[in-house]
Structure 1
Amino acid sequence: MGSIIRLFVGTPLAMLVTVVLFLFMYFLISGTDLDLNEDAETVRIEIGRQIEDTPEQTTQKQFERPQLDQPPPPPPAINDANFRPEVAGVRAGAPTFDANVDIGTGFNPDRDAQPLVRIEPQYPDRCQGRSGDIETVVVEFDVDPAGQTVNARVVRSTNSCFDRNVIRAVERWKYQPKIVDGQAEPRYGVRTTFKFQIQE
């Protein structure tokens, strides 16, 4: 009996509650409807690298040319007449030719024998002398057409101790041969004087 009463009372009440909830939801949805097209705001963001206009710059590299070392100046010419080499504390006199030697000129095709290479003799260790003493050796020789010295001989000597070294030095000399009518000829009787002086 009680269950039938609850059925008749509860059913209409449940239907009422359902209708009320349905209406409430309807008004709730219809009242909060927004016009998205009117209130929406569009923001556009452009992402890209900003390039700043700058004037074109041209870098010019200047290359410096390397400075080349200038060749050293030629050694000063030595006047053979005043040249006095010192060897082992000894001053050897430069060879002097006799007055009959003609050095020739560029305008004359003929020329006399002219020295090219002259080796100074060495002072012999075995030769003794006092400081300041001057020893003299006079040598005479010939020059063949090839410019070689031949037949070297001592004409006069104040000390025979120097003769051998003087002859050896003269035999190594080189000459331009004597020219007569365009032909090389031997030159006879070339004379040279050597002087040796002991330094203090």
Structure 2
Amino acid sequence: MQSLIQSGGSALTDAPKGSVLDFVRVKKEEAVQKKDRKPKKPPKPEQPPPDMAPPQMDAPSPESTTSGMDFGADLAAELSLEGGLALESGDGEFLPIVRVAAVYPRRALQRGIEGYVDIEFTVSKLGSVTNPKVIQASPEGIFEQAALDATLKYKYKPRVVNGEPMAVSGVEVRVKFELGG
């Protein structure tokens, strides 16, 4: 500010008085060294490895018929299910995959009450539980909701007939509520 007041008589268009310093950075020359990082090949052995003997097999060769086994038997004629249905790969009954444990109701836990709930439901084509309903409960009015909630989380491998998944109704499960101890 003081320099502006002192130089008040000069116009801003006049050249500045004094010397101007310019700083120039000069890069030094760098020598870049390149290294060959390929691994060296191991030296060749002086002698080749010895030949391996063929393994000894205890089982008879396929050409041998003296073993007494007949591999040409027709098994398809003997395999059948009740009702005349032939076995097909991938077909089968529904199987439980995930069974979630029911949450013990706090009121029953505090009072030391044990019991069970019988539930009937349908296993859908996707393997989930649908339409669960209580068939029987002992004691009534305590464990039903906890059992229904747990049953809805069950997952099944659905029944497969002729390669198509099918819903299975009338599946019954007993959910037990027991105090460990």
Shorter chain as denominator, the TM-score bin is: 0.3 to 0.5
More helix by share: 1
TM-score normalised over the length of structure 1: 0.43
Report the TM-score, using the length of structure 2 for normalisation: 0.47
Higher Rg of the two aligned structures: 1
